[in-house]
Amino acid sequence: MKKIIVCDAIHQKGLDILEACLDVEFIDASKESKDKLLEIVGEYDVAITRSSTDVDQKFIEKATNITSIVRAGVGVDNVDIEGCSKKGIVVMNVPTANTIAAVELTMAHLLSSARSFPNANNHLKYDRIWKREKWYGIELKGKKLGVIGFGNIGSRVSKRALAFEMEVIAYDPYIDSSRALDSGVGYTSNFDDILDCDFITIHTPKNKETIDMINFEEIEKMKDGVRLINCARGGLYNEDALYNGLKSGKIAYAGIDVFTKEPAVDNKLLELDNISVTPHLGANTVESQQKIAIEAAEQAISAAKGISYPNALNLAYKESELPQFVKPFLLLAGKMGYLASQINLGHVKSIKVIAEGEISNYLEPLITFALVGSLKESMGEMINYVNADFVAKEKSILIQGIKEANRSEYKNKIQIALTTDKDYVLIGGTVFDEEIEKIVHVNKIKLDFKPKGRMIFFSNSDKPGVIANISKALTEHNINIADFRLGRGEHGNAFAVVVVDEAVSKDVLRKLESIENCNKVAYATL
């Protein structure tokens, strides 16, 4: 009989489900010391953890029989996913159980930002001052709400805002616009339309594209008296820019649940009167904790029985199951997919994986890695190696795998073709001896560079002066060039890959786009 260990405290309803399952044994070890936990964890097949238990190298070494780990919650910062994968351990999380809790907290902050409820409450309750004229607010009805990110939470916030008779407009380059329009919400592909709203709320993953998504420049473009909400991830709004906007009055009010550094007890935003704050309470409801415990218990039972691995975040493979030469190609396929999605931002329509040589015998795992890489930019931790096919079907993404005869100069070669609603990109790559990964062409223009670091991709007409202008623009912004690779096409076009040492801002990209003979600029990090 399979055995489940509960390493950290979960709601009693989750324990009740485990107790009622006659096909598995379980132990609640949440009150054991961490040293004791490490002594006994090797006796079990599945572990349920939360933030108190670090699933690190030491834990993995002791967990000799563990085949699956369920992280009861969304975050997996304390889980060594790569280490688990190498040991054949499936890592799962519970990403949607707190959806309603996060939605309703967002609405609470939205209402507070309109009526200053926390301030008015404190003024009367603690200062004992009755001054109604000090707390004039505004009505939600008729106001425009900009929703950044139209996923599980953003779409539900929009639905509730419509009930308040607000005009709602969504921005999410990774969805089909019909998803918003069919629900009565406006859709825009122009981010400036969001900046023109009366209220703005953000519901995106935290990644290089969304960090500081609202910064000084974006706030400057906003209406005077705008109100901002963030109950998603700390750092999506630049906190210095937010502070300045609130202090100057450009931003009338903000509702913030998450911070760049937590606990945020010393954050300067707390000094301001025109902001309501909560200590990362997005999942803190009784119902949410119950749902998390129930889903974690059910996932653990399914995994113990080998039925399914819901919300798996990794591919559980043992190194001995694949030939040694295959593994670096799988990793390369994931990187190429991720690279393609950054070069070709937009709603993914189709993904094609083309393989030549012996590696073409492993087309199925190549497709899976490429698919996860391609959707990582838009979905973050929500996409994984187990649910990738299901997600692709749900999003109507066409997937093709093509096995071709080896016509290139490489022993093995893979290509990823990614089509979005905006553009098309084709990337080719190979792995040389000693597992050296190389990109060998982009859109059939020959190149030679490692898929690593900060990369600017520059498509242009093959005319004199372009390289000099690129170098000049980067020098003006104090950005050092680490590597520069140029490829020339057959029809007067060229493609450059510029590897740089420093992060590249939107201002720099706009400067590069303004260079004469420039066709397209993209920025990617790996």
Catalytically active residues, by annotation: 233, 262, 280
Beta bridge partners of 46: 4, 68
| Closest alpha carbon to 12 in 290, 288, 285, 284 | 290
Strand pairing report for 481-488 and 144-148: unpaired
Lay out the sheet containing 413-420: strands in order across: 398-404, 348-356, 413-420, 424-432, 436-442, 445-449
Strands (E), 45-158: 46-49, 68-71, 90-93, 144-148
| Closest alpha carbon to 345 in 393, 377, 382, 380 | 377
d(CA 199, CA 138): 11
Neighbours of 393 (CB within 10 A): 10
Tokens found for residue 166: 């607000």
Neighbours of 433 (CB within 10 A): 7
d(CA 69, CA 60): 10
Strands (E), 386-509: 398-404, 413-420, 424-432, 436-442, 445-449, 454-461, 481-488, 493-500
d(CA 252, CA 422): 36
Angle of helix 506-513 versus helix 466-476 axis, rounded to 10: 150
d(CA 399, CA 390): 12
Neighbours of 125 (CB within 10 A): 9
> Which residues lie below 8 Å from residue 267, measured CB to CB, with a gap of 6+?
239, 259, 261
Residue type, 299: Q
3-class DSSP state of 11: coil
d(CA 391, CA 180): 18
